[in-house]
A and B are shown apart, each in its own frame.
Chain A
């Protein structure tokens, strides 16, 4: 049996109740957590919300989430063949699932 990463993800939208969902993602050495999340959206659940733009370059800095309680960029944090807990940033308003309001106030739609 090939190795899998178990992603335990905190989901829910602004003002609504939070829930935990767990997914198994095929694991290949070298992959990023963002690779796993993108695989999930294509193959399991396209409703999963996350924010990213540059995909792999760590240039846009949009994919900040928490992994096991530590703030990381999903594009540079490595996927590992174990249970990994993914949560939105704790100090920003939640929009949906892993997406938080991270734009500076002057760059937001008001």
Chain B
């Protein structure tokens, strides 16, 4: 039963309304393009940006002398030899301008005296990471960008749109996208002269994660099915000290990091012993441990039977006075108290949690992907952060890459005289929206997502072996078979709104493809580097200082290697 279909035309379509998508929309609009910004959730509310409670790295040099080249050196060092150097350079060079533009827009960066203040996050050689108090960086960035967008009446926005596929012409050129409106069930065809993917990462693939529900890797799947290549999909960053216990509501699980920046804090094992020195890094009350090493140290303590009761480590601020805690964290202390957590007399339990994805869509410094008409921005872009992202670079890349992608997309749109979406190129995706398979109301999509998350957490986590990865690939294949080729039959026209089974079917179609890409890439990389640790190949090998490209050919994933320095042509 075909639903009522809507066709929309725009110069620039931006998919995803985190910081990257919103900045791209603002910039494309400033360059004179008609822009449509869409999101699978509500505008500016889903995604990762709104969750970011930490810091944004930029070499402002206001408090201490700094320059983009120092930021670049730290980014490259953190990336363990795999950073795309041109993207990393762009990120570091344009960060200060974006931070200052947001400042002018009223984001409210924390200040000391008359200058923006910065903190030193692990991996940085000096204080370089700006923030909005108290742990309000992401919400403030989101709100600011939404406010700027609202001033421009020509910038159209539409939430609750699930994109099914990009529309690719015969020559691979992208001419828009097909999706459906979750609120009504209606199919939507969007013809666009340029399209920007700003869909974020893939942390939803994991049981414990620090991002929103809609971070299921859709952009990677859309790019793969349209014919683009991804790189470095094996590198999933785990944030070492995600909150584990006691149950804490109303706070993001990564909330302890800012406390550590300000107050240090002691990481202890289940026997209340400091343990990070066993793994090559003595903290000495300061917070200097890089993310990959901290994750490794906690996992190994748990494995050795020295974990905390819920299977992590303790984080203690008991050495800090109530006054010091209050000064550093203001109202957050009250929110903790509402959860019966008093840091002056108890530790909390923390454990690694899926946080960010280093891999992604291949793009050059104009954010141009391999496909004409398709641009990418933010976390969905692969390469800038190599095998391990430096703290503070995620929002930075969202802003810098978003701004650049918006500019490039608007310029590309100007070169195209009129819309060029051909109906035959959109027909397969529209058919998938309009003509579901048999009525499969018994298909428990919510449970299938939970099963996928368990597979990924248990067998494609930070520590991998061939046996675990092969088991994961078999589990992913079984889920794909269960999912089938067609979505559940659309509910009746009067009952079409917010059909979560149907939404989750389309989510799973993307998630399973992306999960397979991560596991297969991890299986092929027979070494350990940064966020990818193979217990059966524990050494980092010079011969593996290369990217892996993944592309889809007739349903089969093909992997190929490229030297790290030769990625950008």
Contacts and interface: CB of A to CB of B under 8 A. Distances in A.
A57 interface: yes
Interface in A68-110: 73, 75-76, 78, 95-97, 99, 101-103, 106-110
A103 B159 contact: yes
B41 to A, nearest CB: 5
Contacts of A51: 498
B183 interface: yes
A48 to B, nearest CB: 8
A3 to B, nearest CB: 15
B160 A54 contact: no
Contacts of B339: 30
Interface in B127-168: 138-139, 150, 157-161
A17 B181 CA distance: 23
The A interface is mostly helix, strand or loop, or mixed, namely loop
A42 B159 contact: no
B501 A54 contact: no
A38 to B, nearest CB: 8
B501 A55 contact: no
A29 B132 CA distance: 32
Given A46-B504, A109-B158, A54 B51 contact: yes
Nearest to A98: B498
A62 B447 CA distance: 22
B199 to A, nearest CB: 14
B interface SS class: loop
Contacts of A46: 443-447, 500-501, 504
A103 B160 contact: yes
A31 B44 CA distance: 27
Interface stretch (B93-101, B243-251, B256-264): B243-251
Given A30-B246, A46-B446, A78-B249, A106 B183 contact: no
A16 B495 contact: yes
B46 interface: yes
Contacts of A48: 500
A106 B150 CA distance: 8
Nearest to A78: B249
Nearest to B8: A109
A52 B247 contact: no
Contacts of B41: 53, 60, 62
B494 A49 contact: no
A75 B238 CA distance: 24
B17 to A, nearest CB: 9
A7 to B, nearest CB: 16
Interface residues of A, number: 46
Contact of A75 (B42, B46, B47, B250): B250
B251 A56 contact: yes
A59 B50 contact: yes
Nearest to A97: B498
Given A15-B494, A46-B446, A53 B42 contact: yes
Interface string A17-46: 000000000001111100000100111001
A60 B250 contact: no
B500 A41 contact: yes
B568 interface: no
B181 A109 contact: yes
Interface string B42-57: 1111110011010000
Contacts of B524: none
Contact of A61 (B45, B248, B340): B45
A59 B494 contact: no
Contacts of A58: 249-251
Contacts of B246: 30
Contacts of B446: 38, 41-42, 46
Contact of B497 (A13, A31, A60): A13
A18 B499 CA distance: 16
B251 A49 contact: no
B313 interface: no
Contacts of B346: none
B253 to A, nearest CB: 7
B341 to A, nearest CB: 10
A10 to B, nearest CB: 15
Contacts of A75: 249-250
When A and B form their complex, which 5 residue pairs have the shortest distance between CB atoms, in order from nearest?
A: A30-B247, A57-B252, A109-B158, A76-B250, A53-B46
21 contacts: A13-B494, A16-B494, A28-B247, A30-B247, A31-B249, A42-B450, A46-B446, A46-B447, A51-B498, A53-B213, A53-B214, A56-B249, A62-B41, A62-B42, A96-B498, A97-B498, A103-B43, A108-B159, A109-B161, A109-B188, A110-B158
